[in-house]
Chains A and B, each alone.
Chain A
Amino acid sequence: MIRYLRLYGYFLQFSFSKAFEFRIDFYFRILMDVVYYIMNLLFFKVIFLHSKYLAGWSESQVMIFVGAFIVVDALNMTVFANNSWNVAQLVNRGDLDYYLVRPVSTFFFVSLRDFAANSFVNLIMAVSILVWAFMKYPEPIGLLRTLLFGLLVLNGSLLYFLVLMLFIIPVFWTHSARGLQPLFWTTSKFMERPHAIYSRVVRWVLMTIMPFALMASVPASVLFAPNPWAITLGSLLVTVAFMSLVLFIWSLGLRNYSSASS
């Protein structure tokens, strides 16, 4: 475990020294994400021009949800995104070879090697937006609930990555450039709305087999809902289940890996 942390330390170090070399990309990413954040905030602001509540959520609650969702997105862009986009190329061009012969978990290496240091600024902005939403909340929020919320936001990011991987790993069989990613991008839109707006059946689906609600909306609800512990435990369990599933399918993929000939 400590060894893996040390390895991650190296990944961070490499990414930062690399990021500062490509300045244009660095600024462009900031601009791109700022626009994205503003669009999302504005969307809900517009809704609350016409209504005081959205499926029982007040405006300040929804703002915290949007903050959470932006942080989850930024965390993913920073920690996982580059890596998940790379998987198809690693598999199709046979570049996975060198990862496979190293005496460390190949999945660890593939998931975390490329830390997007140039998204790090975005992560700081995203967290600021979340803090702003917290400060604007009219009632006091307990420390315990805040901690559980923080934990669930981290959990949500991991879950986001795991679900995305489920759509990417099929490249071991399809050898397409992106796997089933477009399908993921379409369905992941569910994550951008509070889950309370959906019908019961859809909510259930979004909290189990397609757990997009557990990524930002449910974490936000832990701040206001009556049963924070049950929500937390349930969310963590779903992550464990998805982790096992992804690792299992990953190992099937490796069995099928044909390593493009050099």
Chain B
Amino acid sequence: MIQTQNLSKTFRVHKKVAGLAGSVKSLFNRQWLDKQALRDVTLHVGSGEILGLVGANGAGKTTLVKILAGVIHPSSGSVSILGHNPWSRSNDFRRQISLIMGQKAQLWWDLPAEDCFLLLREIYQIPHPQYKQNLEYLVESLGVKDQLNIQIRRLSLGERMKMELIAALLHTPRVVFFDEPTIGLDLTAQRAIRNFILEYRKLHKPAMILTSHYMEDIERLCPRIAIIKDGQIVYDGDLARVVNTYANHKILSVEFETEVSPAQSPKAFAALNAEVIFQDSSTVRLKVARTAVAQVAGQMLQQFRVKDLSIEEEDIGNIIEKLIRRDKDVSGKIVTPKL
């Protein structure tokens, strides 16, 4: 449903030397800098699939989403969404997509949500019975029935985001772009929105692309992720595989039967070739290389009187974080696994 081919986007920004002197200079002799926001992005998202787009600030996530939604034009490459070229912005295309940006409100502040929805019904030409049914379902599952007639600016951030979601989904789009839909929300609201997205997916099977800085969004919603760094897709594949491919460590937690005296323990653990993450008198958490886990665990059992021992995978968010932040020369080594 969404297919991109070697998509690139270059912004031309002018380079300004700091200060007033620099401003005056740039008035006469302006230096331009080409900033490559996207390079050769090739992606495919099918119906019913949620692709999580992960990357640091300025990596190109939002640019990609905006190109796909037809808001901005790419410099080169092609996109086909439901057979349409997004930036020709045909009404037929625009009727079938939706764009939700956590940072930008689409609803009008001075109006109650329901008025905005009526306008959207007119814009999308949603037939009456279908409008009623959709609205009822959306309002019900997001639990905002009582807020429908309150002006948007009087709603809480969470309620407002829910209204934004309703506004975006009233016309049952077949392709949905979420750009940080949970930004700034409290945990309850985040969870409600996540659950809703999952339920909506089950019901309508749209193709979705989601960007977020919250790893929990990604973990809960996206079985597949694409990691974008400096405008390039450096990983595109299963979320689970990220762990297998890139996690070098596991976390070993040990609870001792007797107290380990602090004086002797650091030495003992250091000898184990492990890094201490946390330690108090009777427990310790160690970061151990994947290959050494069995050996270290064995040694622990030999040297101490262990009450309980558990081995966990490294936090997936940390792994992705590391992937995103890696230096250039290292990122060169990242291989996109075959799909």
Contact = CB atoms under 8 A, between A and B. Distances in A.
Interface stretch (A68-76, A77-85, A90-98, A187-195): A90-98
A255 B104 contact: no
Interface in B100-117: 101-104, 106, 108, 110-111, 115
B329 interface: no
B26 interface: no
A97 B104 contact: yes
A101 B69 contact: yes
Nearest to B94: A103
Nearest to A255: B73
B122 A100 contact: no
Interface stretch (A2-10, A37-45, A139-147, A163-171): A2-10
Interface in B77-132: 89, 91-92, 94-95, 97-99, 101-104, 106, 108, 110-111, 115, 118-119, 122-125
A104 B123 CA distance: 7
Contacts of B104: 94-95, 97-98, 262
Contact of B122 (A7, A17, A97, A255): A7
Contacts of A259: 66, 71-72
Interface in A139-157: none
Nearest to B110: A18
B125 A3 contact: yes
Contacts of A3: 122, 125
Contacts of A128: none
Interface in A223-261: 255, 257-259, 261
Contact of B111 (A14, A95, A101): A14
Which 3 pairs of residues, A with B, have the shortest CB-CB distance? A262-B103, A103-B91, A103-B94
Interface in A79-129: 94-98, 100-104, 106
B71 A101 contact: yes
A255 B91 CA distance: 17
B206 interface: no
Interface of A: 3, 6-7, 10, 14, 17-18, 21, 94-98, 100-104, 106, 255, 257-259, 261-262
Contact of B71 (A6, A10, A257): A257
Contact of A100 (B11, B58, B89, B115): B89
Contacts of B118: 10
A1 to B, nearest CB: 14
Nearest to A105: B91
Contact of B115 (A14, A95, A98, A257): A14
B158 interface: no
A97 B94 contact: no
B interface, over-half SS: mixed
Nearest to B177: A101
A100 B103 contact: no
Contacts, number: 71
Interface residues of B toward A: which range?
35 or more
A97 B119 contact: no
A103 B123 CA distance: 7
Interface in B296-332: none
Nearest to B97: A101
A129 B224 CA distance: 68
A106 B104 CA distance: 18
Contacts of A101: 69-71, 94, 97-99
B123 A7 contact: yes
Given A10-B119, A14-B108, A104 B91 contact: yes
A244 B99 CA distance: 30
A6 B122 CA distance: 8
B72 A7 contact: no
B179 interface: yes
A212 B205 CA distance: 55
Contacts of B63: 261
Contact of B94 (A10, A18, A95, A102): A102
A107 to B, nearest CB: 12
Contacts of A257: 71-72
